[in-house]
Amino acid sequence: MTLVRPVRHAGLSRRAGPPIALGAPLVGLLAVALFTAACVAGADMTGSAASRMQAWEKATGVASSSRVLLRDAARITKLASGHDPTAMKTACLVLSNDAEAANTDLPTPDHVATVDLNDAYLDYYAVAVDCYRDAGDAARKASLQRALGLLRSANARLVAAGRRMAVVAASSASRRRPQTTGLPTKG
């Protein structure tokens, strides 16, 4: 029997502990993603499009997270006209966290609603990054104004997704009584 010596890559050494510093956070992120998927998967995803959408909405709490994002957006808009960079940066971080958290609930049972929500969440995240960078920097005032424009676009996309989900949830669920989703349908 011939023993083969393992190939060692440049830069790697034999040391105690994980070879990659990001190993533990990535494992934690994967665990959270799997847990979230299991929670959503626990919802009844059978039946009509309406019943699947209603089950998904209930399992994810999308109406609540949408209201939180709209509140975050309103706070950033209000703070943008002021002179408190610390409060602005804090609001931007909160928006970033809330957009990431909402994004973990995707996909929805409806492709169009998924695309609308995904686009809104990506816009919210981009706004959060830009406004954090630009807060309190007078030279970046124009960039902050562009971010606020993107914030309005994100709000509109979120409202469009809410309308789409309301249509899907009411489509065939009950011809007698349309269901309401609780999602914002106005900006």
Q: Which structure tokens are listed for 80?
A: 């943008």
Residue 81: pLDDT band with limits 50, 70, 90: confident
Is the pTM for the entire model greater than 0.85?
Answer: no
Range list of H helices, the chain: 23-41, 49-60, 62-80, 85-103, 111-134, 141-171
Compute CA distances 160 → 34, 116, 138, 147, 163, whole Å.
Answer: 28, 7, 34, 20, 5
Q: Which residues contact 153 (CB under 8 A, 6 or more apart)?
A: 123
Give residue 43's pLDDT.
52
Comparing CA positions, the residue from 74, 65, 92, 97 lying closest to residue 183 is 65
More confident residue, 7 or 171: 171
Give residue 155's pLDDT.
96
Give residue 12's pLDDT.
38
Domains observed in the chain: 46-171 (1.20.120)
Residue 132: pLDDT band with limits 50, 70, 90: very high
Alpha carbon 94 to chain centroid, angstroms: 12
* Preceding peptide of 107 cis, ω within 30°: yes
Give residue 2's pLDDT.
52
- Under DSSP, the state recorded for 107 is P
Q: Which structure tokens are listed for 170?
A: 């009411």
Residue 45: pLDDT band with limits 50, 70, 90: low
Whether the pLDDT of residue 180 is over 50: the answer is yes
Please give the Cα distance from 106 to 113 (Å, whole number).
Answer: 10
Mean pLDDT over 50-69 rounds to 96
**What is the tens place of the pLDDT at every residue in 90-128?**
999 999 999 999 999 999 999 999 999 999 999 999 999
Q: Which residues contact 132 (CB under 8 A, 6 or more apart)?
A: 89, 92, 93, 96
Comparing CA positions, the residue from 130, 155, 154 lying closest to residue 140 is 130
